[in-house]
């Protein structure tokens, strides 16, 4: 890997993390009553997304939808089979209940994500209906077409789910 490719990978990771961090900061600023600060965090988060996308394009990381779905399935599968189980084990050994809970939620939800991606990949090119997804605001559980009455991972009420059109 060239030095530039290494830098692009590092920059992509950094910009991606900054985006997520600034969106979390915006939520906190809104809750604390600082709407202008929240707006700036959201604006800069959007700029960081543009940077991340540019870096990914320079890395030739955007491919066909079929290839992108396959890559997503591979990533999600790695997370629930290897990454999160190891993290869960360490959190339990250290008695870190909060870490254990968040790793458990993510591990369970990554399985669902892989299944959702696989279903679309299996039917790619065939006529498909278009429908929304619903995401649990507590654990990230994702369902197609409608929200469940209760989240099967964390127990949150379905009416709390965010609709993604």
Summarize pLDDT for 8-46 with one digit per residue, the tens.
999 999 999 999 999 999 999 999 999 999 999 999 999
CA distances from 100 to 55, 72, 88, 126, 135 (A): 33, 24, 5, 40, 21
Q: Give residue 114's pLDDT band: very low, low, confident or very high (50, 70, 90).
A: very high
> Is residue 72 scored above 90 in pLDDT?
yes
Q: Are 109 and 151 members of one domain?
A: no
Q: Are 67 and 122 members of one domain?
A: yes
Residue whose entry in the numeric block shows the structure tokens 């059109």: 165
Q: Are 13 and 53 members of one domain?
A: yes
Q: Are 109 and 136 members of one domain?
A: no
- Give me the chain's average pLDDT, please: 97
Query: Is 134 in contact with 143 (CB distance < 8 Å)?
Result: yes
At residue 95, the pLDDT reads 98
Buried b (16+ CB within 10 A) or exposed e, 75-113: ebbebbeebbeebbeebeeeeeeeebebbbbbbbbbbbb
Q: Are 119 and 68 members of one domain?
A: yes
Q: Which of 34, 58, 82 is the last residue of a domain?
A: 58
Q: Are 138 and 121 members of one domain?
A: no
Q: Give residue 100's pLDDT band: very low, low, confident or very high (50, 70, 90).
A: very high
Q: Are 68 and 120 members of one domain?
A: yes
Residues with Cβ within 8 Å of residue 64, at least 6 apart in sequence? none
> Is residue 113 scored above 90 in pLDDT?
yes
Sign for the pseudo-dihedral over CA of 116, 23, 158, 78: positive
Q: Which of 42, 58, 74 is the last residue of a domain?
A: 58
Q: Give residue 129's pLDDT band: very low, low, confident or very high (50, 70, 90).
A: confident
- Look at the chain and report how many structural domains it folds into: 3
Residues with Cβ within 8 Å of residue 158, at least 6 apart in sequence? 134, 147, 148, 149, 150, 151
Q: Give residue 127's pLDDT band: very low, low, confident or very high (50, 70, 90).
A: confident
**Mean per-residue pLDDT, 138-149:** 97
Residues with Cβ within 8 Å of residue 113, at least 6 apart in sequence? 72, 76, 142
At residue 52, the pLDDT reads 97
Q: Are 74 and 114 members of one domain?
A: yes
**Domain that residue 94 falls in:** 63-128
* Residue 144: CATH number of its domain: 2.20.28.10
Q: Give residue 139's pLDDT band: very low, low, confident or very high (50, 70, 90).
A: very high
Question: Quick one: which of 62, 18, 68 has its CA closest to 43?
Answer: 18
Query: Is 61 in contact with 49 (CB distance < 8 Å)?
Result: no
Query: What does the DSSP 8-state code read for residue 157?
Result: B
């Amino acid at each position: 890997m060239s030095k530039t490719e290494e830098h692009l990978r590092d920059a992509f990771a950094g910009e991606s993390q900054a985006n997520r961090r600034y969106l979390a900061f915006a939520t906190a600023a809104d809750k604390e009553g600082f709407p202008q600060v929240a707006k700036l965090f959201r604006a800069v988060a959007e700029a960081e997304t543009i940077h991340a996308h540019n870096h990914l394009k320079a890395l030739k990381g955007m491919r066909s939808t079929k290839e992108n779905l396959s890559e997503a399935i591979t990533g999600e599968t790695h997370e629930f089979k290897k990454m999160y189980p190891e993290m869960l084990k360490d959190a339990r050994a250290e008695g870190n209940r909060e870490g254990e809970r968040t790793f458990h939620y993510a591990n369970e939800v990554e399985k669902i994500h892989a299944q959702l991606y696989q279903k679309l990949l299996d039917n790619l090119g065939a006529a498909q209906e278009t429908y929304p997804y619903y995401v649990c605001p507590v654990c990230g559980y994702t369902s197609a077409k409608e929200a469940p009455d209760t989240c099967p991972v964390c127990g949150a009420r379905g009416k709390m789910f965010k609709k993604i059109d």
